[in-house]
Chains A and B, each alone.
Chain A
Amino acid sequence: MILGGIDLPLAALLVIPAVSAMGLALLPGYRLTARLNVLATFLTFLSSLSLFVERPEPGDYLFVDDLNVVFIVLGTFVGFTTSAFSASYIAHEMETGKLTPVYLRFYHAMYQCLMFAMNLGLLANNIGLMWVAVELATLTTVLMVGIYRTPAALEAAWKYFILGSVGIALALFGTILVYMAARPVIGEGHDAMVWTALIARAKDFSPELLNVAFIFLMLGYGTKVGLAPLHAWLPDAHAEGPTPISAVLSGLLLNVALYAVLRFKMLLAANPGAIAPGPLMVTLGLISLIFAGLMLYRRRDIKRLFAYSSIEHMGLIAFAFGMGGPIANFAGLLHMTLHSLTKSAIFFTVGHIAQAKGTQDLGKIRGLTESHPVLGWALVLGVVAIAGLPPLGLFMTEFLIVSSTFARQPLLAILVVLGLLIAFGALLLRLSEAAFGPATGDTSAVKASYVPLFAHLALVFVAGIYLPGPLVAWFRNVAELLG
C-alpha cells in the first residue's frame, strides 16, 4: 500500500512507536499507559506482518529484504509480548513503590523509543542511518537500566554507557572507512552509504580498506552483541534494570547488533580480495561460548545467570554464522529466533519469581515448584529449553550447528560441544537447587501474566517437533543469501 509516495506498513513501523513515545510521556495513570503500550506494540507487530503480503521497493533510506524481515517480525513480536508482561510487572512495581508515576511515564516513553530505534536500525538502507539507530537504542536502554537509581543500577548503567559508547564509536570509524572504500567506485555523497548500492558494487572496493573497516565494525557492533571479551556491560545491565528490559535486551537488542555484523559480513564476502570474515566471528563466538559457560557456575544472582547464558548463546550464533554455508547459516538463524523466544520467556518467569520472593539471590530461591508451581515449572521448562535438551527447538538447532561443523572442522566441533556441555551442567545445577526441594522464603502468590510466557514456550516446543514447510523454505532462502 503506497500513499503519497510513502509506503504505509513501513511508515507505521516507525511512526507508531515514535508517536506512542510522545503520547506515553504525557499521559498519567499507569493502568491506562501500560495498556496503551501493549496496544502500540501490537499495532507495530501487525504492520510488520503486513510486510509479508506486500514488500515495498528499496528506497534511499529504508528497505526490506528477506534477511531483515526475519529480524523485524521477531523483534516486533517479542516487543509485543514483553509489553504484555511489562504491564503486570509494572503494576507490582507501582504497588511496592519501587517506581514512581513520573519514572513510569519515562519508562514507557523509552520503551517505545527503543522499539523505534530497533525498527529503524533493521529497516535502514544506509549504513550511517543504521549507526544512528543503534546509538539511539543504546542511549535509551542505558537510561532504562539506571531507572531504579540504586547504587548497583547506576553502576550498571554507567558501565553499559561507557562500554556501549566505545563500541559505537569504533563502529562509526568502521562506517567511515566503508564509505572511504566505496567513494572511488560509487562516487561522492549519499549513494556511497546505501546498502543496496554497496552490495551491488562491493567487488570493486579496495579490499585493504574493507578489511580494516570490518575489524572496527566487528569489534564495535560485537560489543553490542555481547561477545567476549567485550561483554562486561551485559550481565550488569541485565541484572540491575527492570526485568522487561532484560527481556528486550536479550531478545531484541543483541539481535539488532548481530544483524549489523551480518550485513557487513555480506559486504566483505562480496569482495574477492578481502579477508574471509568468518574466522574472526568463529573465534569471538567460541571464546564467548566457553567463557560464558564457565562463568555460569559462579553466579549467585538469577538474572545475571541468564545474562551469561545470553552471552553463551550469542557466541554460538556468531560461531554458526562465522562457519557459514547453507546448513550452519540456517541453524544460526533458527537458533537466534528460538533463543530470543526462550530467553525472553525465561526473563518473564524470573521477573515474576523475583517479585514473589523479593530477591534475585539464587541462594534464597529454593523449591519454586512447591511454592509457586506454575512459575516453577515454567522456569524448569525454560531452562530445559535453553540448555538444549530434546525435544525442544534449541536442541535441534544446536545439533545442526555441531553436526555441520563436524563435517568441516572436527576440532572446532569438539570445542563447541565442550562449551555447550559446560553451560548445560551449570544451568541444570542451578535449576535443580532453585526449582526443587523444600521451599524457602516468601510463598505468597503473585499476580503474573502467564500468556506471553507460555506462548513463547509453546512456540519453542512446537519448533522442536514440527517446522512448517514455508518457514523452512524461507529460512533456507535467507541462509543462501548469507553465503
Chain B
Amino acid sequence: MIGLVDRGVGNVNAFANAFVRLGVRCKIVRESSAFVGIDKFVLPGVGSFDNYVRALRKDGFADALVEVIKKEDIPILGICVGMQALLETSEEGEEAGLGLIEGRVRRLPNSCPVRPHLGWSEVSWKSRFLDAEQKSEFYFLHSFYCDVDLQVVSGTSNLDFEFPVAIGMRNIFGVQFHPEKSHKSGSFLLNAFGNWECEQD
C-alpha cells in the first residue's frame, strides 16, 4: 500500500488517480498514525520550499516519517518540491529539509533561457531508475534544482546548464518533474515505483 503524503501543500489527488488507473493500491496519509500498513511513500509537493517543509514538520510529522523510513528502509519518492525537501537546505528559504540525501537546493542560474523551467524537457538517464529503462520526456515546473553528489544522480536535464532531475540512494528517490502530469512517461515511472523492491544487502 503506497502512502500519498498530504499536508495540504501538493496535489495528492492526481497521484491517487494515477495509481488507481495503474491498479496500484494507495491511500492518502495526513498524520503519522496512518503509517500502519504503508510500505512505500510518495511525497508530492508544489510551492515554496519553506512553506512545504513547515507543513511537513508540523506536529512532528516529518520526524515520524524520517524515523520510519530509516528504521524500516521504506522506499520514498519525492516529487518536485517533495524531492527538494529530501535534501538538507535550500537557497529558496531558511528551513532545514529532511536530510535524507546530502545536498543543497539552488536557484536555476540566470543563464537558463526561461524561469521557471516550465514545459516538456528531455531527461538524459545515466542509469536505470527504479529498476526500469525510463522514458525521455517529462513535464517540469520549477525554479530551483537539487545540487547533489554525482553518485546519487540517475537522470539530468539540460537548459544550457546540466542539472540533476532524478536522484536515488538506496530506498530514497526523487524526481524534479511531474510524473502525474507526464502522460505515459509519467505513469510508466509511477508504475515502476509501485513495483520496485528494495534489494536485501
Say whether A associates with B.
Answer: no
